[in-house]
Structure 1
């Protein structure tokens, strides 16, 4: 897994500048800072246990609009939903209710607790999204980088789902955008000792690394996956994503898998600023 701490701030600043320059009309409503964990819950974090909902202004027909939960990246130790308003706006503009979430970060917590937060956000969404015009029976997860690994865990980890009262089919599909953390067991087993960055998030035991690696949880009957990979992304992401695809195929699913020419890791999320990029094109085919 690459070092992302140094490169993320500048790239995400660019994203913020793109949003600030967006002078187009906004056919959506943003509901900010909704708590998806009750404030009386032990361990409630008043900043990280919150999400934003972006709802299309156009009324939905039938049961409601499809819903996409977006999980941000940031090497498991940084990132904030407020950086990704452009994702919420772009999804809502396409007739999708977007739920852009915060979750707790390392070193305060480790990946199991981050996954718990994502599952809590999913449970909240299924219970409440009808108020915002969304269809609770059509909820999808989408994540970039570390958020891609968390989205994959949300779809594949049966113990995580059961712990939060979620059925195995709680997600209707998953979109992985240059995902990190799909196989942290292999990555950390082959990494030189002394680098605490990933141990802060994944702990120190090989058993824990495997437990939080979605590649070891793949099985028949999973929701469909759309997987997008930058041609010039980090080698660790490229190799683990290719193995993840092969393992999906081994359990009977042939996911949509696209390598985008010339793309590096950070531009793979910045491209979500433009509503007609290939990720949104394929997403629309999945949800509508």
Structure 2
């Protein structure tokens, strides 16, 4: 019995020590599982701000001058004219009992930059500036690779569109020494009411705006930047206010450099667009 007690006593003492230790210590809490915080944004119906629209897709903001107004732009000549002499040389009505060749190839700089390319580029720039302000713009030709249209057809396009303003865009090719500067042609004497005060005012507004934009009036043709003409079919046959801008002389080195430059063409276009807007706002 004494032996049993000797065995049990140490056992009881060990158990007591174990129990005392478990109660006297606060066991360390198990480490919490790592929490992964996700900052994913739910996909909204409008995911993100759209990319800035390209200039061609920018919505037009209609100005008071543009409301309901139609502008016809007539870039002179065409890129395919030179390859079709029979077609562009055939005679067509030119007004005042005259006939003229359907069209011509136009001129070029001494380095070979063609008038038809210049006029098409400038017309597109003018048209974009006006369309961005809400004007309805019509072109007499849609590319620079075709033939024509003939001068009588170009006038008809403006008439059929019931245009509020028709502006034909050209560049001159004078070989006269020192010839430079722009001029604006209009039909005179007038053959109808639109060719009277409306066309004259359009021509004057084009002249004044181009001059204010830093372009010099021609020193070899017209008077003070204006040229009254009785021989231009597109003007003679128009029943809408119409004018023709000769932007400068492509054979003049300084003006040729400006016309060949994209920045230069933008300057011409900005002046012409501003003039058309000013004319239609008055």
TM-score (norm 2): 0.37
Q: Which has the greater radius of gyration? A: 2
